[in-house]
Amino acid sequence: MPKFSKSPWVMHYDGSSCNGCDIEVLASLTPLYDIERFGVVNTGDPRHADILLITGGINYHNESVVRQIFEQMPEPKVVVAVGICACSGGVFRDCYNIKGGVDTTIPVDVYVPGCAARPESIIDGLVQALDVLEKKSAASAALSEGESNAQQS
């Protein structure tokens, strides 16, 4: 049984963010905060990723992009909305091009508040996401075991 929480692979995508939260996500990878000591690897390919870190709100242009990335990620997967814009639209929620936070398009598992979200908050959010990932992995493993038992009998 693979333990995902020992080395989750993270993918970061910016959907209409001001770059503040993206820079803080990158800063989490740099020596001062260093999420790599938890085994986290930053990958560019959604098919390699377990956790999706999304910043910025959803607008009409990037809605389909975000949904496609989400669908390309293999199960079990966790979505972490980093920053207030990703949680609820932030100061831009009245703009004509913004639909809202990330949860208008894809299901979000952890919300990380902050404008720009501090690297420490992102680490906290990641740790919570790992718990959710473990639960999902255990649930899907139980499901597949049940199926294979049903097939055998």
Partner 1 sequence: MKRTIVPFGPQHPVLPEPIHLDLVLEDEKVVEAIPSFGFIHRGMEDLASKRDFNDYLYVVERICGICSYMHGMSYCEGAERIFGVEIPDRAKYLRTIWCELSRLHSHLLWLGLLADAFGFEALFMQSWRIREKILDMVEDSTGGRLISSVNLIGGVARDMDREMLAGFVAQFDKMESELRSLTKVFLKDSTVRARLFEVGALTKTDAILYGAVGPMMRASGIELDTRKLGYAAYGDIDFDIITSSGCDSLARCEVRIGEIFQSFRIIRQAVDKIPDGEIYIPVKGNPKGEATVRVEQPRGEALYYMKANGTRNLERFRVRTPTFSNIYSLLKILPGAQFADVPLLILTIDPCISCTER
Partner 2 sequence: MAGIFKFTKFALKNLFTKPATRAYPAVPARQAPRTRGAVQVKIDDCIFCGLCNRRCPADAISVDRAAKSWTIKRMSCVQCGNCVLNCPKKCLTMEGAYSAPDIEKRNELFRKAEAPIPAVHTLAPAPADGKAIAPDRVLVIDMTSCVLCGLCARRCPTGALNVDRAAGTWTVDRTACLQCGNCVNGCPKKSLALVPEKDHPTVETYTKNAAPQVESVQAPAAPITAQPAGTEGITVDLSTCILCGLCVRRCPTSAIAVDRKAGTWAINRQSCVVCGNCLDVCHKHSLSKTTEGIDTSGVQVYTKTAEPKAEPAPAPTAPEPSASTETTAPDTPVGNGIAINMDTCVLCGLCAKKCPTAAIAVDRAAKTWSIKREDCVLCGNCIAACPKKSLSEDEIPLLETYTK
22 part of the interface to partner 2, by CB under 8 A: no
- Per CB under 8 A, the list member of 1, 2, 6, 31 interacting with partner 2 is 31
How, if at all, do strands 78-82 and 51-55 pair? Answer: parallel
Q: Which of 7, 30, 140, 144 binds partner 1 (CB under 8 A)?
A: 30
Q: Which residue in the set 26, 65, 95, 115 belongs to the binding site for partner 2 (CB under 8 A)?
A: 115
The answer to whether the beta carbons of residues 130 and 110 sit under 8 Å apart is no
Least CB distance from residue 40 to partner 1, whole Å? 15
Burial (0-12, 13-18, 19+ Cβ within 10 Å), 3: exposed
Please tell me whether residue 54 binds partner 2 under the rule CB under 8 A.
Answer: no
Candidates 79, 98, 106, 129; binder of partner 1 (CB under 8 A) is 98
- Applying CB under 8 A, which of residues 10, 40, 78, 116 lies at the interface with partner 1? 116
- Token pair listed for 24: 């803080």
Say if CB 87 and CB 130 are below 8 A apart. Answer: no
Q: Is 104 in the site for partner 2 (CB under 8 A)?
A: no
Single out the residue of 35, 65, 62, 63 nearest to residue 51, CA to CA. 35
C-alpha distances out from residue 75 to 12, 19, 22, 128, Å = 17, 28, 24, 18
Residue numbers of the site for partner 2 (CB under 8 A)? 31-34, 37, 84, 87-91, 93, 109-115, 118-121, 123-125, 127-128, 132
